Each structure stands twice: as structure tokens, then as C-alpha cells.
Structure 1
Amino acid sequence: MEYIIGVDIGTTSTKAIAFDLNGRIVDKANVEYSILNTRPSWSEQRPDEIFDAVMNSIKTVVDKNKEKNNRLLAVSFSSAMHSTMAVDDKGEPLTNLIIWADTRSKEYAQRLKETRQGHEIYMKTGTPIHPMAPLSKLAWLRDNMKEVYQKAYKYISIKEYVFYRLFGQYIVDYSIASATGLFNIYAFKWEQDALDVAGISCDRLSAPVPTTYTLKGIKREYAEYLGIDVNTPFIAGASDGCLANLGTNAIKPGDAAVTIGTSGAIRVISDSPKSDPQERIFSYILTKDRYVLGGPINNGGIVFRWFRDNFAADEVQKAKQEGMDAYDILTQEAQKIPAGSDGLIFLPYLLGERAPHWDADARGVFFGINIKHTRGHFIRALLEGVIYAIYDVGKALEETAGDINKIYVTGGFVRSPLWVQILSDVFGRKVLQAESYESSCLGAAILGMKALGIIDGLDEVERFVPVSKEYLPDKKNNAIYKEIFEMYARLYNLLKGEFSNAANLQDRLFLD
């Protein structure tokens, strides 16, 4: 049997999944790694640790398929966006990988955002001005790590680092490039105005290539380690968000994809870029004739994990003893609480927020607590708060790109029927869940099939993504959620100034 490996280099782990040529999962491997938070606003990772995770996950899948005498056709990549690191002229890291969640450059982003130049850069690059983007990260590095800045030969993302290690070439696919804030999504080249802000020239960045760009001739030492032929095609692929739409079949007008994993996002596909004059959404490239419009939220499943790790020690222990998942135990508690959590509202901004506010200083809030609220109320309010954040982006997206008619879901949150039902109820839309929620890996594999000529076009994706479950909105719950969302939205605006004060206080107390 012939198969393709889709590799997704994520925030907390790398997945390698073998798909047959009908899009069915054959084998999978997952290798986790850590995030380094040495300061409240810093989020870094060790690039070599991630490279090892990529290699080990691919090797595990290759070894499993060798036992079955299956034949590997290609390896195609998905990757998290917005990461950057400096390397020297030998490709050795000069910094850790600075990831999307890092907000140390928030002052740089805020100053640029308030200028006409910042607005024009957004309109040409499609990337909102925010500390997540390499644009502001590089400006911070220039002023705060001057020795590194002077030594740096290239500034690259984690996928670029992997490809350089494997092939000795610096390439970046259009999709990852379009999320840097440095790339003109209309001209398909590095944007000079943005480069001037970052203080670099284009030769300090990788060569932009199409998402179907294919490399062969992997270094022999790595081919031998992986157990593959040196001429195995490696496809550049795209970003995880763009591929999540492809891998869920959310590619028609009115179709949205909602992903909630560590963070979250809602996205639609357009045949042209559509930058928002209010700068609320992104516009990224999948291919030259397909753009992915939408917005990410910082706080998805990581919020539930925070609650579990800090307030559910007994449930974690019980889950271990009984072979259960602690999240299931907590969700059962939330299931007993009515929609709206009896007026308890959670603003889920534990890691600041990206779309639609692009506010790195935003902080988490439980509002409306009264004596009758139980822990179950807090759990349900937490789940609802994450969906309110997604809905907040969805409203901005509809204003820019048109109505959303149905939603395809992907990411770890689909393991919770309650959480997906809340999504349906808040939006008042039908929600479709595919048989596999590994959409970014599947999207990478489908893009690989296009690169190899196995399929003629991406519209063939529908046959690879059968729907396993549908959720229909409850009209009564939808009415409750509409009312509560209006209060949720007002709360952000009322607290915006205090969020900045709280963030500054926390930074000062941490440093003391």
C-alpha cells in the first residue's frame, strides 16, 4: 500500500500521521515538548528539541509501515505560525525559538499599530500588528539583543529550521511567510516597508516558495536514520490554520472551520485576500488562488488545562486510578449546569488575546459570581468563555467575508460533545465533525497529493473527509447566549484600561 505522511509541528507536540491515498489514517506518532516561560511575557522553545520530535515521529511511522511492506510516497508539512529564531552562517541557533504566544514586543507592536504606516503594512501583509508576529519580534531583537542581531545570518521559523537541517536550504512557504507581517500577500514577495520597520533586508530571510514546493535529496545521515530513500519528496506545505480548513473540507463560501486545541481559531476560505480596515482579522495564503481569512484566539484548550492542573488534583488522581480522562470527569460536572452558567461569565484571556482585540495585556476574569455558584458553574463558564471568544471573531469575520452558514470543527475540543454543542448553540449554526480531527495533518497530506499529481485540485478534498457527527443549535440556549455575549463584549471594553494596569503590575511584581 502507498501512503503519505502528514507532519504537523505544533505548539506542544509534533504529530506524524500516515494516510493512505483515500485519506484514511494508517498509523500515527506524537512527540511532546515543553514551552519555556522564563518571564510572564516570554514563550520560547528549544529548536533542537522540536527537530528531534519531528525526526522521531516520522521514524516511528515509517518503522510501523515497513513492518506492513507499505511504500512511502512523500512527507508533507504543517506548522504553527509566527515563530522566529536567529541562526548564524552555519545554521546554528543563536536564540531559542520565539513562538506565537510570546508578547515581549508588545510596546513595539502598539506603537506601530497606532501609526498610518502600521495600518498600511497590515493592509498589504494581511497580518494584524501584534507581538505574535515576527515583524515586531525582530524589532525587539534589534534593540534588546544587539549582539545576537549583529551575528544573525538568517531569521527563520521552526519549519524553515527543519528544512535547513534536512536539505541545507533556506526556504519558506507562502503560507508561513504570509503570517510574519513581513510578506506582501498581493505581490508574493517580502514587503519593503515592513522590512524597514524590522531593520533587516530580504537576504536575512528565506526564499519564499509555493506551498506545493517539493525538495528531494535529504541528507544521507537523516535518510538512514529515518529509514527512507534519499530521493523521497518532502513538500513544504503550509501553516496549521490554513491546512485545518483544507483538512475539514471547509473550502466553500459560507463554510467556516473552528479549531480549538491549545489556542483556537475560526477561518473561512476566499479566492482573494480581504484585509479588514478595522484590522480585526488575518488574511493568509493557502495557494495562489485560495486565501484563508479569520482570526486566532490565544486561549483555547490551555484554559481548561490551567483549570485542571490547578483546581482538580483529586480528579486527576481519580482518572489515573480508573483509567479515565480527568477532562471527562470535569465536563460531566459542567454538564449538570444550565446554558449561561446561571449568569457567571468568564473572559478567558489568560495569555492576553489576539483576534479581534489584538490586546496582549488582556487578562482573565470571572464576572458575576454569587453565593449559589458551584465549581460546576466555573467549569461550564470556562467552556462558554472560550466559545464567546471564538464568536467574537466570527462576528468580525462575517462583516468582512460574508455570512457563515455551517461550521466544521477540529482540534482536541471535539472530544467533548458538550463543548461542541455549546459552539453550535452560541453561533446558532449547524456544526459538522469529521471522522478524523487530525485536520492539519490531513490537509498537509492532501496538499502533498496535489504536489505529486495524485489529485488534480483541492476541491477533491470532500471525498477524504466524511462527516461522523452533526450538532444542531438549541434555540432556547441560543437566545440565552446572545444576551450573555452582549454583556461579555461590554465587559472587555469596560476593563480594557485596567487590563493594561494589571499587566504592568504583574510584570513589575514578577521582576521584583
Structure 2
Amino acid sequence: MVKKNKIFILVVDFGTSKVKANLVDAEDGTFLTSCSRSYTIMTTAEGHTELELEQVWDSAVDCVRQVLGSVKEDGKIIALSFSYFGDNLILADENGDSLSQCILCFDSRGTDEAQYITEQLSEAKLVEVIGSPYSYMSTGAKILWMRRHMPDIFNKAKYFFSIQQYINRKLGLQAINDGTMAARKQLYDTGKGVWSRELLELIGIGEESLGEIKPTNTIIGEIDSFGPISLPYSIPVVLGGHDCDLGIVGLGVGSEENPVVADITGTYDHIGYLADGMINTKRTYPHGKIESYCGPLDNKSVCIGAFTTSGAVLEWFMREVNSDTSQDAYQFFWNHVVFDGNGTVCMCPDFSGNQGSFQGIGLGVGKNELFQSIIEALTFKTKEIIDDCERIKLGGINRVRIGGGAANSAEWIQLRANITGKIFEKMENIQVSALGTAIIAAYTMGIYGNISDAIQNMVSVSRVFLPDMEVHNKYNIIYKGIHSNK
């Protein structure tokens, strides 16, 4: 009997603070190997946060080099694809070479510009066009800031890239956007499927400076090298897209009618699902937390809400209060807290507007109680977004599938189930953005006839967490009390 060759998708997953290269089995979704490298988030001025592009690129090259060494003679990489963090800006010259470092979403320059854009177009108009109000996180606000405050660089810029386009150029390919990353620039009319003329005229740029838009599953070329690394053969490149949107696919949440949503955890906690057609949730539910834009699959919208400081709050506590960020330090707290709904300390975890606070602190309160209140508060925020999803989602919600860093903690998953009252499913592979990228690439390369078949073969649940309804009822009283005071 002839042994069947293994076929793999090589996925490079660019996160805000690290990059991972993953070799994914295109038939069953298992990861043969992974390699990650961290890079430094730089604070270049008050409120300015950037990534050094060459460090990001060199880290990716190093990861790919390590992963390629694990491919055996009986295996073949059939495609390379990517997932990317969203809401970022890189200015580039006429040759596509960078003029700036990568400006991150939570860089606060552009605050005044976002207000100006809103005043000129109105919040209602912005919701109609891009599906959300404008904020300093928006790419357009940062471009306008550069025009006003750094004209020497702005006037040299021919292009306004995202990290997706920058990586495409580094590989010698065309600097194309996929629909999800185009939408994250918040200059894209998601209803019409084109760059917004009104926004571009207001900011003072042309659509040619933003680049062409293609579907996430587009094959944009073939490469025989990854920077200085010679590949063993020419490999097709599938465009890829925004990491959170691909994470929804990697969690197997492909149909709005199924009573399940995705929870992609990390620095941001994203919760959402895919809906049929192009819809605008902010227009229908203006006070809800769910936004929508074009998804990574044909004729699908991403409907998603995010709690922007989720992982950052926990990192702050471990760094500034506990002075120890080691894994052992984290585990110590998990071993010494009890999530039974009887805690007395409450926390407001919204650090993004300097609104974070603790209530119920007494002389007997120590780090354990503070840690517990942080985890509970972050989980209450998760419940808020799930509740908003449930108000608008066809098919309702009775299950939540979880991936990302928080999925490593069984205790936290159980708390999520207890606080929300929903069944939580931990996935066999919690690197869901990379898996979703591989699923789309496998379908694109013809391994599966449709996305549903790819999900069925490549996604699996490893453990189910049922809510303890007695504990849920206790937390529900606390939750209602918090919201009644808002």
C-alpha cells in the first residue's frame, strides 16, 4: 500500500505583540509544529504606540525558518496564508517602502481628528457607511493626524498600508487588502463594497493610495522564497485577513442560524458570529456593542463586539500590583481563589478611558481578592457582549466556543459558563485565528468542496463546560446590581 503524503498549510499569524508560524494539517486541522517570536511595542511619545517593522519582519522570517525544518519528505506545503491584527497604519513611498513604523490601533493620536470627521459627516452618516462611529483607533483619523502634524512624511507618502499590505510587499507581491482588513481601515463603504468617497475627500487622499481589495481566499501569487529563506518549491499565497474574523471560522461558527457564538480571547476579548449577506447592526441597534462589516467568506458579514482592555487589565495587575508576571505567579492566584459568587470586591475594568476602579475594599482584602474581582469583572464584560449578540442574532445562543489565551484556563472557562449561563466549548486547537486561516486556504486549494466540509473535518471540541446554575444565579444578582448603578 502506497503511503499517502501529508499536505499542510503554512500559516503566519501576526498578533499585536508576537508572530507565530504554524504548520497545519490541511485534512484534519492538527498543528504539526508552531514557532512564535515576540516583538516590542514602542512608546515613541505620550499616547503614541508603534511596532518596528523590521523587527516584525525578522521575527516572522525566523519563525518560518524554524517551522520549515519540521517538514518531512512525505509532506508538502500546498499554500501559505496569513492572519493579521487590525486597525493599523504604515505610510509608504511610491516604491512601497515604509516611511513610518506600524502605528497601532490604541495609539491615541487622531483623537481630535476623529471628532472632526464625526462633526463633518455626522455619526449617523458614519454608521451608515462604515458600520460604526469614528474613533481615534480608526486609520482615517491617524492619516489625517499625519497630514496635520507630520506633513514632511505625509507629503512623501504614496500609499497608506496595513500590516497585511506591508507583508505582501516584503514577499514581492502586490499590496492587496482583503475585505476584512479593508473594513478595519474604516475608510471602506461596507454596503457598497468600495472605498468611501466622502471619507477620502474629507481626509484628502485618493483611493489608489489605499490599494486594491480582493476576497480573503484570493490566490495573489506564488513565491519560492520567504525573504532570505529559499523554499523547497514554489508555494501559492492565499491572501488571508483579519485575525478575529478568521478566528470565528476557526471556531466553526459559520452559520447565524446555529445557536453558537465565538469567543476569541487575548489582549482584546472578541465575541461574534457570521451572518448571511451584508448587514449593519449599528444602524438597527445603535446602542448595542455589536458592529458589523464584510466577513472573510463570500456574502457574509462579521458581527462582533470587543472589550478592548481585557487582557491588558490582567497584565497590569500582575505587573504593577503583584510585581511578578511569571506563569507560576498566575497559577498561584488561580489556586487560591474561589469563584462561587460570594466575593465582596467589585471592579470596573474599563481602563481605556482611565475609568478603572475597585469597590468594596477593606483592611482584610489582599491580592487574592483583587485578582478574583478582576477576573469576575472581565467575565461580566464578556457577558455584556454575549447578551448583545443574543438580542440580534438569528437562532439565539445556547453555546459559546472559546479560543485564544484564556482557553488555557479551565477555571476561567467554567466561570464564563457560570456567569453567562451558557454552555462553553473549548476547542481541540485554541489557536483559532491560524486554524480559520488554514480552513479557508484548504478550501481555496480545492481540498474541500465548501467551507462547511472544511470546518467539519478541521474543527473539533475537546471539552464541554456546563454552567452551575446555582452559582449563575448568585452572579446574576451581582451583575444586575452593577448595571442598575450605571
Q: Aligned partners of 1:462, 1:103: CA distance in 2, in Å?
A: 41
Match of 1:357? none
How many angstroms does 1:326 deviate by? 2.5
- Which stretch shifts more, 272-281 or 433-442? 272-281
Match of 1:497? none
Could you tell me which runs of 5 or more consecutive residues in structure 1 were left unpaired when the two chains were aligned: 353-360, 494-512
How many angstroms does 1:289 deviate by? 1.5
Match of 2:235? 232
Match of 1:107? 112
In structure 2, the CA distance between the partners of 1:140 and 1:397, relative to structure 1 (3 Å rule), is farther
Give the partner amino acid of 2:400: I
In structure 2, the CA distance between the partners of 1:190 and 1:36, relative to structure 1 (3 Å rule), is same
Q: Could you give the per-residue CA deviations for residues 404-450 of structure 1, whole angstroms, max 9, x where no partner exists?
A: 22100011011111211121122110000111101000000011011
Match of 1:483? 477
Alignment of 1:81-480 (within 5 A): 81-113=86-118, 117-218=122-223, 222=226, 225-229=229-233, 231-253=234-256, 254-272=259-277, 273-277=279-283, 278=286, 280-284=289-293, 285-313=295-323, 325-334=328-337, 336=338, 338-339=340-341, 341-342=343-344, 344-350=345-351, 352=352, 361-402=353-394, 403-460=396-453, 461-480=455-474
Q: Aligned partners of 2:115, 2:386: CA distance in 1, in Å?
A: 24
Give the partner amino acid of 1:425: N
Asked if 2 retains the 8 angstrom alpha-carbon contact of 1:89 and 1:153, the reply is: yes
As a proportion of its length, which structure holds more strand? 2
In structure 2, the CA distance between the partners of 1:113 and 1:383, relative to structure 1 (3 Å rule), is farther
How many angstroms does 1:369 deviate by? 1.7
Give the partner amino acid of 1:338: D
Q: Could you give the per-residue CA deviations for residues 191-213 of structure 1, whole angstroms, max 9, x where no partner exists?
A: 11221232211011111011011
Match of 2:35? 29
Alignment of 1:33-72 (within 5 A): 33-66=39-72, 69-72=74-77
Asked if 1 retains the 8 angstrom alpha-carbon contact of 2:138 and 2:186, the reply is: yes
Two-structure CA RMSD over aligned residues (Å) = 2.1
Give the partner amino acid of 2:346: I
How many angstroms does 1:168 deviate by? 4.0
Q: Aligned partners of 2:31, 2:225: CA distance in 1, in Å?
A: 28
Q: Aligned partners of 2:81, 2:243: CA distance in 1, in Å?
A: 12
Asked if 1 retains the 8 angstrom alpha-carbon contact of 2:132 and 2:282, the reply is: no
SS at match of 2:24: strand
SS at match of 1:473: coil
Q: Could you give the per-residue CA deviations for residues 331-368 of structure 1, whole angstroms, max 9, x where no partner exists?
A: 1122x3532522x1112222x1xxxxxxxx34321122
Asked if 2 retains the 8 angstrom alpha-carbon contact of 1:173 and 1:236, the reply is: yes
SS at match of 2:19: strand
Percent of counterpart pairs with the same letter?
Answer: 23
Number of residues paired by the alignment?
471
Q: Could you give the per-residue CA deviations for residues 191-243 of structure 1, whole angstroms, max 9, x where no partner exists?
A: 1122123221101111101101112243x6636614342x3111111211111
SS at match of 2:309: coil
As a proportion of its length, which structure holds more helix? 1
- Which stretch shifts more, 145-154 or 284-293? 284-293
Q: Aligned partners of 1:428, 1:365: CA distance in 2, in Å?
A: 26
SS at match of 1:151: coil
Asked if 1 retains the 8 angstrom alpha-carbon contact of 2:94 and 2:158, the reply is: yes
Asked if 2 retains the 8 angstrom alpha-carbon contact of 1:446 and 1:458, the reply is: yes
Asked if 1 retains the 8 angstrom alpha-carbon contact of 2:222 and 2:237, the reply is: no
Match of 1:14? 19
In structure 2, the CA distance between the partners of 1:136 and 1:481, relative to structure 1 (3 Å rule), is farther
Q: Aligned partners of 2:149, 2:121: CA distance in 1, in Å?
A: 25
How many angstroms does 1:75 deviate by? 0.8
SS at match of 2:238: strand
How many angstroms does 1:113 deviate by? 4.0
How many angstroms does 1:474 deviate by? 1.7
Alignment of 1:494-505 (within 5 A): none
Asked if 1 retains the 8 angstrom alpha-carbon contact of 2:83 and 2:434, the reply is: yes
- Show structure 1 runs of 4+ deviating over 6 A: none
Q: Aligned partners of 1:167, 1:340: CA distance in 2, in Å?
A: 58
Give the partner amino acid of 2:418: D
Asked if 1 retains the 8 angstrom alpha-carbon contact of 2:88 and 2:103, the reply is: yes
Scaled by the length of structure 1, the TM-score of the pair is: 0.87
